[in-house]
Structure 1
Amino acid sequence: MPVAALDDIRAKVGQQVGTSDWIEVTQDRISAFADATEDHQFIHVDPVAAAAAGFGGTIAHGFLNLSLLSRMAADAMLVPDTTRMALNYGLDRVRFIAPVKAGKRVRGHFTLDGVDEKAPGQLLIRQTVTVEIEGEEKPALTAQWLGLIFT
């Protein structure tokens, strides 16, 4: 994760602070996620049935795309240079906007919404993340993500 001084991070509230590298969403990744979550709905694991349903092939689980935010954050999320530990504090809003077809690549765009002191030595960082699908107009998802930083 990119690091910066806290004052420099606060100065970026309202701005896009980073974009992750591309991540390929392969059928193997989708199938492994289906196994891990026991969600084997045909649109994720059966290319013929998924194509007949109008998707043109299998699509990734919305929660798979959401889970990739952690990987994306490693490239793009700013953290204070005094960070001892960072925790996923949750999500205030998630919308799955467009399906991600097997074989497509996605990347996250991070916009810093706020940095607030939650308690002494604890910062609540609020970000909006938009997950772009390569070559497509609509994003896969948008999420308001909360991180708890211990300094």
Structure 2
Amino acid sequence: MRILNGIAELEQAVGTHLGYSDWHTVTQQQIDLFAEATGDHQWIHVDAEKAKDGPFGGTIAHGYLTLSLVPMLSWEVYKVDGVRMGVNYGADKLRFPSPVPVGSKVRAGVELVSVTPGSAGYQVVSRVTIERDGDDKPACVVDTVSVLVP
């Protein structure tokens, strides 16, 4: 994990790749729990028998499940000391270029895009790329927007 000591050090890191998270295995239980929480029970995600004959040869994670892993995986990449709190503000340029079959290992790579001062704190944009082990195409690419309050 990369530790940045305050906003000034964070600003100096703009334009750099901050690192990678550990690998995380996406399980069917995780997919099923996500389906239960969101009400998205599409067969491609939750019906292993039917999905065997589907386009991916088995179940795949919901795209939004993959997106929901971004905070957990990003927290493994870096943190900023000297701030009171950070809050999610939104996301830009979200794409799911490649599916995540059950049992896949994924990790996040984080690039710091910008740090902009504002009235509530500093708006931070990070480009997070979720990679799947063994696949050249990313599973998810998103510019996350957060606000850090010193």
| TM-score, structure 2 as length reference | 0.94
Q: CA deviation at 1:130?
A: 0.4
Q: What is aligned with 1:138? A: 137
Q: 1:2 deviation in Å?
A: 4.5
Give me the whole-angstrom Cα distance separating, in 2, the residues matched to 1:140 and 1:43: 16
Q: Within 2, Cα distance between the matches of 1:2 and 1:16?
A: 11
The count of aligned residue pairs is 149
Per-residue CA distance 1:12-45 (angstroms, 9 max, x = gap) = 1111012111111000100111111111000001
Match of 2:108 in 1: 108
Segments of 4+ moved more than 3 angstroms: none
Distance 2:90 2:67 in 1: 12
Give the CA deviation at 1:97. 0.8
In percent, how many aligned pairs have the same letter? 40
RMSD: 1.3
Structure 2 equivalent of residue 59 of structure 1: 60
CA contact (8 A) 1:13 1:112 kept: yes
Do residues 22 (structure 1) and 10 (structure 2) align? no
State how 1:65-144 maps to structure 2 within 5 Å.
Answer: 65-79=66-80, 81-119=81-119, 122-144=121-143
Task: Tell me which amino acid in the other structure corresponds to 1:52.
Answer: D
* TM score, norm. by length of structure 1: 0.93
